[in-house]
Amino acid sequence: MADERPDPDRDHGFLHGGGEMGARIRAFPWSGTALGDVPDWSPSWRTVVRLMLTTNHPVFLFLGPELVCLYNDAYARSLGPEKHPGMLGGRGRDWWPEIWDIIGPQIQYVMDGKGSTWHENALVPIDRHGRRDEVYWTYSYSPIDDATAANGIGGVLVLCTETTEQVLAERRVRAAELRWRQLFQQAPGFVCLLEGPRHVFRFANPGYHALIGAGDEILGKPVAEVLPWAVRQGFVDLLDGVLATGEPHIALDAEVELPDHLGGGIRRLDFVYQPIRDERGRIYGIFVIGSDVTSRHLAQEALQRRTEQLHLACDAADLGIHVYDPATGAIDWDARMHALWGLAPDAPVDYAGFVDAIEAADRPVMEAALARALDPAGDGHFAAEFRVRSQADGRLRWVQFTGKASFRDGVAERVVGTARDITEARLADVRRHEFLATLGHELRNPLAPIATSLYLIRHGSPEDAVVRQAHEVIDRQLRQMVRLLEDLLDVVRVTNGRIELRRERLRLDAVLQSALETAAPYVERGDHPLQLSAPATPLFVDADGVRLAQVFANLLINACKYSDRGSRIELVSEAGDGVVRVRVRDQGVGIPAEMQARVFEMFSQAEPSLHRAQGGLGIGLALARGLVEMHGGSIAVHSAGRGHGSEFVVTLPRAADPGAVAAAAAGSARCGATFAGWKILVVDDNVDAADSLAELLQVEGAVVETAHDGDTAITRAEAMRPDALLLDIGLPGRNGFEVAGELRRRAWAASLRIVALSGWGQEGDRRRSREAGVDVHLVKPVDYPELVRALLPPCRSGFSRDAVAGNRPGIGTASRLKPLLRGS
């Protein structure tokens, strides 16, 4: 049976290894060259190629009668891009035209079977890196024996070493010997030459003369005679050691005490004692070179003091200092950084340990910030806040990380910065948020009965004109309070990322119509001519209609507040390249140039509110920017300055036309007898709120009962079996969530419509309502039409929810603008 063991030569084993060139040789299409396929190569070629790939010495091969070029990594380092890697597999004559007149005859000598050649420090200039370099080589040309080839020679083996630096160095040494005295005379430091075991001065430059306070009279004299103080300080012992060992002595920042006649005091010197050898290698003297670094030493001491001050400042500010090497992952921390991670002050830290302690949900935040800092296209700044779990006690801390990356040749070398524990600040933010939410709740509760009572007055028949006027004033101020409160809470929600947009495909003109309805009282009160412009073709956006209308309403109201009575306001909508733009222009007070960069900041106003009767909290534009950016858009302001009006431009992504737009709701239907035959239970611990809402629902035909705590609510609901439950959340005893959950467990309540009426309106409150079985969560104060829409789910009855939506104060004025908004 034939031997089936693999043949390493047939498997090209001789081509294994060899680094870059080994890989290139293995991948090269040799069948297209004069050498033919690799399996057909002769044993001598295989041997010499194997030798080339396994040595670190520069080796070049000319193979076959065409002298095909092969070489290894060591040789490639002496080539430029003109030859490497393109020369591989090419003919020698084609790739070495600049020196073929030199090496061609030498190669032919070997190929003719005349033997080897040897060339030492020979000038063989080659083209590399865009120029012809004067290159010196020590090399040999040796035959590659091959019995099947002409003259028995299958190629030429080139063993070479580039000696350019050696040759040039020898030239430099010879040249230096001619001019060293002149150069040393001009040296900025001190230089001297000492000979023999007594260290006799043979040369000293002006710098050395200045150092020791003596001139040329020292030449020919030993150091011990010229500088007895140097003997006492051990410098002669150092010279003796250099002569004895032949090893140079290098001193950095050495302390030298000068004698009184040289001014006294301590000087700091950097110097080298370098042994000098003759042509037989014997040490015959010492070359001394150095410089006075006293000023540098003093600067370093000053730097050290500043560094200590920096550490003290970091300690006072509770800042930890970190240094990170992106290339190695090495991390250098001070004691405070170790403490933040719950580590001992001397515990080693690497990148993996740093990341492991970061809360998993926050790691992407840190990694994204670090990636931005390490990006050479950026500014190198690193800033992130994330949670870290202490390895000592398991405590979770919020840490604020800052830093700056330094770069060399486009690669980040290190990141240096600080970190501090901001846990308390974060907790303060949470407490502040909770305070504002509570504030909103406490302010909403008294507004609810006022709003309900006003609706009753509005639909009565008051005969007293003073009462009607008082109603108008109260109604207007109530809406102003509600708007300011909503804006304030919305800013908090946007800032904390607690607003969730409910996006849908909307016509832009419908959104603007809603904004006009809200702003209509301000337009009418200021007697502002309103100029509208819109394209004939409807524009669509994917947006939360309520929030987007809030943006445009704020811009329109601002335009009214900061414009003189009777001045024109323009509302323009237009299409751009993949976007829609809405422009709100006014002829008002304008915005100074220095203010335009800050106009969207919180509590920022272009003109102090004392100068304007309608001045607000300065949060409307901050809220508008936040909501627009949540929609993926942007908002900008343009103004020629004070007294020249302003233009606000909102840009949003444009959505495709869905092809079917629902007809606008028509009319403003009256809500009388809406709930005829309904049984409704109203639950609120505010007796006035419960009773006034009950009266309103009774006017609408409902049978209504009230309860003022959770337990009573459950008892009366069980007895009454109502169709709908209007439920406050903050109740004595069982809260509204518990009441809703308890009732949902009862079979008769499966169809019960539960609407929460609460001053608590955060997303967490809404989520708890859903979990408890509440159908709709409304935030006080609630307009009656909004309450009707909540109680009447789609297709519940023939009652038009769209009609109720249209029954809002001020809609008559805004309705006149609908045709213009549609572009007709």
pLDDT mean over 10-38: 89
Supply the DSSP symbol for 577: S
Least confident of 391-405, 406-420, 699-713, 759-773: 759-773
Residue 465: pLDDT band with limits 50, 70, 90: low
Task: Name the helix (H) or strand (E) containing 755.
Answer: strand 753-758
CATH of domain 501-653: 3.30.565.10
Residue that wins the pLDDT comparison between 782 and 641: 641
Supply the DSSP symbol for 265: S
**Is 468's pLDDT higher than 60?**
no
Tell me the fold of 679-815.
Rossmann fold (3.40.50)
Least confident of 71-80, 220-229, 365-374, 493-502: 493-502
The mean pLDDT value of the chain amounts to 81
Tell me the fold of 187-297.
Beta-Lactamase (3.30.450)
Residue 320: pLDDT band with limits 50, 70, 90: confident
Supply the DSSP symbol for 170: H
**Is 576's pLDDT higher than 50?**
yes
pLDDT mean over 622-632: 88
Q: What is the pLDDT of residue 254?
A: 86
What is the CATH architecture assignment of 13-163? 2-Layer Sandwich (3.30)
pLDDT in tens, 530-542: 999 999 899 999 9
Task: Please report, rounded to a whole number, the percentage of residues in the chain having pLDDT higher than 90.
Answer: 38
**Of 741, 729, 725, 736, nearest in space to 791 by CA:** 725
pLDDT mean over 750-759: 89
Q: 258-287 burial by CB neighbour count: b if 16+ within 10 A, else e?
A: eeeeeeeeebbbbbebebeeeeeeeeebbb
CATH of domain 317-421: 3.30.450.20
Residue that wins the pLDDT comparison between 531 and 188: 531
Tokens of 629: 């950016």
Q: What is the pLDDT of residue 258?
A: 83
Q: What is the pLDDT of residue 122?
A: 92
Residue that wins the pLDDT comparison between 665 and 756: 756
Terminal Cα-to-Cα distance of the chain (whole angstroms)? 97
Supply the DSSP symbol for 217: G
pLDDT mean over 366-393: 89
pLDDT in tens, 20-33: 999 999 999 999 99
Residue 671: pLDDT band with limits 50, 70, 90: very low
d(CA 705, CA 684): 11
Supply the DSSP symbol for 729: S
Residue 256 phi/psi, 5-degree rounding, is: -125, 130
What value does the CA radius of gyration of the chain take, rounded to a whole number of Å? 45
**Of 721, 715, 754, nearest in space to 734 by CA:** 715
pLDDT in tens, 323-352: 888 888 888 888 888 888 888 888 888 888
**Is 109's pLDDT higher than 80?**
yes
pLDDT in tens, 775-787: 999 887 777 777 8
Least confident of 181-195, 270-284, 742-756: 181-195
Range 381-388 contact pairs with CB under 8 angstroms and sequence separation of 24 or more: 381/405, 382/415, 382/417, 385/422, 386/358, 386/359, 386/362, 387/358, 387/359, 387/361, 387/362, 388/340, 388/341, 388/357, 388/358, 388/359
pLDDT mean over 371-399: 89
Residue that wins the pLDDT comparison between 457 and 464: 457
Least confident of 40-54, 203-217, 671-685: 671-685
Q: What is the pLDDT of residue 75?
A: 95
